[in-house]
Amino acid sequence: MSALSSNWDRRSIFRAAAGLGAAGTLAACGGNNGRGGGSGSGKQLTQYFHAYGEAGVEQAVKRYAKAYTKADVSTQWITSNDYESKLFTALLTKQAPDVFEFHPQIQLVKSGQVADLTDIIAPVKDDFNAADIKSHTFDGKTYGIRMIDDPQFFFYRKSMLEKANVSVPTTLDELIEAADKLTTSKVKGLFLGNDLHAIELPLIWSAGAEPLTEKNEIGYHTDAVVGGLRRLRKLFTSGNLLLDAPTDFWDPSAISQGLCAIQFCGMWAMPAMQQALGDDLGVFAFPKVGSSGRPSVYNGGWSMFVNAKGSNVDAAKEYVKWLWLDQKKYQEDFGTSYGFHIPPRTSIASQAEKLKSGLPAEGVKLFNTYGHFDNISWTQAMFSAWDGVISDSVRKGGDPEAALDACDKKINRELKKLFG
Amino acid sequence: MSTTTTRGTASPAPAKVSGTRPRRGLRASNTLNFWLFTGPFLIGLLIFVFVPIGWSIWLSFFDARFTVTPSNFVGFANYRHMLTNSDFTGSLVTFTVFAAFIVPTTWALSLGLALLVNRLRFMRAFFRSVFFLPTACSYVAAALIWKMAVFNGVRFGLANTVLGWFGIDNVAWISNPSPPWYWLVIVTVRLWLQAGFYMILFLAALQNIPTELYEAASIDGAKSGWQTFRYITLPQLRATSTAVILLLLIAAYQAFDEFYNIITTRATWGQTPLMVLYKTALGANQDYGSGSAGAVILTLLICVITLFQGKIMGFGRGEESK
Amino acid sequence: MTTTTPPLDKPRRVRRGSVIGNAGLYLAVSVAAVLFLLPFYLIVRNALSTDPEITGENWKWFPTHFQWGNISELFNDETVDFGRSLWNSTVMAVLMTTGILLICSTAGYGLARIPYRHANKVFYAVLATLMVPTAVTFVPSFVLVSSLGWVDTYRGLIIPGLFSGFTCFLFRQYFLGFPKELEEAARVDGLSQWSAYWRVVVPNSLNFFAAMATITFISGWNSFLWPLVIGQDPSAWTVQVALSSYMTNQTVNYHLTFMATAISILPLVFVFLFLQRWLVQGIAQTGIKG
């Protein structure tokens, strides 16, 4: 009996093992998920892009990649609102992208995540907007290549302002007043995005402060900023602000669908707005906050980085050089064919006819006159800490000083980790 | 249904070898059999559950930013950081508030529905199915409906449309935390999703209450109504209620999906513990050390809560004690 | 609601209750039913409308024309490969259900029925994992899975979720109550424990297996956090992740978003309508035992 049963057992084990093996194979077969997949003579590269809202960008990016002959480049199009989480998480893994777009942020440099691109940029350095080089440089080394500059400012419906007899606001108080006059039962005066994230930096600059000082210490905690936060709170509770809109600030729908009269948005959405509203559209910078302030425009944008921990750093650098330094045609196409962006390279920007007249030209003027570029020391964690300030003081109605104090604590911890 | 529901509580102690003591051969084959049956599961559990837990604990003692293979040992610094971090401690408050809302309301609503459905004589299956159907929806789908169709802040949201009929202005349900309408959004979505599920539990339990109890009570002169409910139905449902409350608590503790999709991580309110961990570790901060420390703290807390509840209600232990 | 209709006695009893009481009862359930069905109505309405109809100034209860073309538009939409995500979810839910039933049922049986000296210790180790919210360990889990190279694969989606302490616990509880006589008879006939399990125990437990299968399928189909983390590439997205991306996408497209929602719910609605018996049984059982 004992022998018999152990015999049975052994057979059963085999059968079980076979079953598990089969299940394993099945899972493995199913596991082929679009990665790589190229014909595979050259090297394999993966690039990450966040999902651009404008039609055609994805196809364009893939078209450029296809034209590259020295490597097989596959594109990951990340349609999620926290692109940074996806990107950061992916960078920890074996399947990290070789090339990715992001903003210049020091923690990527400090953690050795992004490769030094100084050598490939050097030959064309002078052709770049100097501010774009500076914002990507730390300790004399340049870590990313700017693809597009995206100034962010207000768009307004000229007809609505005329009808309500409102002139273009030049101070935050005037903006708040305008919002009040423009609000009707169907239309809200102003849209700043659903969580007001987008106006954090403009608020600081327009109040005459800087996020961080030259020495990388906190620079945003000033009386003018506190005052600005107090006024924003007033605006937030006035009922003149569009909230919980179905789309966020980056999407032109709020203003094009007639949900608001003034919307904070970016240059990229200009073509879509013009298409919907025609000439009934104007732009102005984030107005000054308090008496000592100055209007400001956040010159955001996207840059290309090479994953220094990837397995094909050299091939990746070569690809980035090819596309974002050598192929001017593609760069121009990327900058002006879909949404409007300002090419960071002088030689391309000077030839971009679409940006030379009308509203786009006004946008370029705001960019040049009031623009502030990224500060490489201002990291994602600091953005996130400032989200807390807006949440606590403006949206929730807490004391701005207390909110800023809480933020100081977080940002100082971050600064200490980064700069010792 | 009733046979399966009653079985659990009455189940015997785990098969202690009955009758004849096993001989060596039999015991060996028992050992072999045991591993044959449980081996695949245990190996998987070891790799995919215990290793991550251990890794988490290990990480929690290191300065692990932008890396999960850190080298800088920091002792309890991450724990200190999390425990003094107002986001994290605030999330425990959020959880408490959330639980204080959702547990009693779900309990009451699902019990109420069960009592109603249980009294129906026609179309019973129909109504039961209707109340049960939302369980089919995922939190993501439900969050989407709530955020975009019911409670969006503009004129074409259902809630604002209905308010509009009464001449009330559009309400920003989610963006504006004062008054905290977002709780209405969050609680109703979960209520809608969960109530049917727990209703089924209560229905099963209601049908296990012996009819004689009610008959006896009616002979004793108890009025059909509140009295029988209070003195017969409720006490008879005690075991189910206990289970339901525990399940609701644990579910509330792990709430993530609808908060992530409705409130988003940009706000400072309505951040559940898991949201904060997600933000700390996977979000902008990429601080795996602190994130892991938070995870360990949460785990300890849930252990304490469960054990505490187990102590009080004798839940899940009975059959192990000799 | 409970206060308006004193909720009492068994339904089968002959009721002396008044007609008014009955009408009140049906009124109450009907109102509740309408509220519970309202979101489903919204999904269908929006899924079959055009965007201007949804976002228009005046509320429309029904679209002027049912836009059935929205379905093909959804599947032809290039920004989100919805068909692919449906397929991924199907594969994931089916393989997970199969895997969990295989692995956890045998383990539950082993823990319940095989007299092994350390069985209780092992059982406590399994119980301990129930205390740890699975989502709490997702960072190391993710890193582990990614170091195996399983990000964006079905393996990564499925295998880590197969070892459910909870399901194993439920199976153990079930097998504790399974009549011993059946098995013993099988053993006397010379079957090994393994064969006895497959030939006697399992065939006699199909009800419970069906219940567990239904529940596992639903939770697999609806799971979000893990697929969100694992599915980096859109080609590896499940339906829930795709839905979430509609919500956070840069341009919101109402009719497509709601069509996607409707289609994502559809399979489970069928499960609910046709397999409700197993489901109710399973929930009653798992819930009671918690």
Domains and CATH numbers, chain C: 76-289 (1.10.3720.10)
For testing contact with chain C, the best of B30, B41, B68, B264 (most C CBs within 10 A): B41
pLDDT at B270: 84
A82-86, A399-403, B92-96, C89-93: least confident range: A82-86
CB hemisphere CA count around A285 (13 angstroms): 29
Position B25 confidence tier, pLDDT thresholds 50, 70, 90? low
Q: What is the pLDDT of residues A311-361, one digit of tens each?
A: 889 999 999 999 999 999 999 999 989 889 999 999 999 888 889 989 999
> Nearest CA of chain B to the CA of C157: how many Å?
12
Fold classification of A151-298+389-399 is D-Maltodextrin-Binding Protein; domain 2 (3.40.190)
Specify the DSSP element, H or E, that contains C50: none
Task: Write the DSSP assignment of A332-391 as a string of letters.
Answer: HHHHHSSS--B-SBHHHHTT-GGGSSHHHHHHHHHHHHHEEPPPTT--HHHHHHHHHHII
R_g of chain C, CA atoms, integer Å = 24
Position B56 confidence tier, pLDDT thresholds 50, 70, 90? confident
> Nearest CA of chain A to the CA of C17: how many Å?
49
Q: C-alpha A255: how far from its chain's center?
A: 21
Cis bond before residue B134 (omega within 30° of 0): no
Among B80, B14, B37, which residue's Cα sits nearest to residue B297? B80
- Inter-chain touch B299–C42, beta carbons under 8 Å: no
A412 touches chain B (CB under 8 A): no
Angstrom distance (rounded) from CA C138 to CA B275: 12
Contacts of C151 in chain A (CB under 8 A): 90, 93-95
B61 touches chain C (CB under 8 A): no
Q: Is the pLDDT of residue A392 over 70?
A: yes
Higher pLDDT, B89 or C251: B89
Q: Pick A89's closest partner by Cβ from C229, C244, C250.
A: C229
Residue C195 phi/psi, 5° resolution?
A: -70, -40
Distances (CA, A) of C254 to B160, B164, B173: 17, 21, 19
B2 within some domain: no
Say what angle helices B182-207 and B2-10 make with each other, to 10 degrees: 90
Angstrom distance (rounded) from CA A260 to CA A208: 28
Window A:228-267, CB contacts with B under 8 Å: 236, 239, 242-246, 259
Q: What is the pLDDT of residues B219-235, one digit of tens each?
A: 877 777 778 888 888 88
DSSP A72: E
B67 within some domain: no
B63 within some domain: no
pLDDT at B219: 81
Instruction: Give the pTM.
Output: 0.79
B292 touches chain C (CB under 8 A): yes
Who's near C14: CB < 8 A, 6+ residues apart?
none
Q: Pick C232's closest partner by Cβ from A5, A51, A95.
A: A95
Task: Provide mean pLDDT across the span A127-150.
Answer: 94
> Nearest CA of chain C to the CA of A241: how many Å?
18
Angstrom distance (rounded) from CA B163 to CA B152: 12
Cβ atoms B196, B133 nearer than 8 A? yes
Q: Domain A43-149+300-372 is of which CATH architecture?
A: 3-Layer(aba) Sandwich (3.40)
- Residue B265: which domain range? 86-315
Task: For chains A and B, count residue pairs whose Cβ atoms are closer than 8 Å.
Answer: 106
The pairing of beta strand A188-191 with beta strand A260-266: parallel
B119 within some domain: yes
Residue ranges in A92-137 assigned as alpha helix (H): 106-110, 118-121, 130-134
What letter represents residue B281's amino acid? A
Q: Pick A388's closest partner by Cβ from B155, B173, B268.
A: B268
Angstrom distance (rounded) from CA A392 to CA A386: 10
| Tokens describing residue C47 | 């899924």
- Give the ipTM of the model, two decimals please: 0.80
A384 touches chain B (CB under 8 A): yes
For testing contact with chain B, the best of C3, C102, C132, C175 (most B CBs within 10 A): C132
Percent of chain A whose predicted confidence (pLDDT) is above 70 = 89
Burial class (CB in 10 A: 0-12, 13-18, 19+), C180: exposed
Considering chain A, tell me which residue range(s) the CATH 3.40.190.10 domain(s) occupy: 43-149+300-372, 151-298+389-399
Count of domains in chain B?
1
Identify the three-state secondary structure at position C54.
helix
Who's near A209: CB < 8 A, 6+ residues apart?
A219, A220, A221, A222, A224, A225
Angstrom distance (rounded) from CA C25 to CA B135: 24
Specify the DSSP element, H or E, that contains B87: helix B86-119
B165 within some domain: yes
- Inter-chain touch C257–B145, beta carbons under 8 Å: no
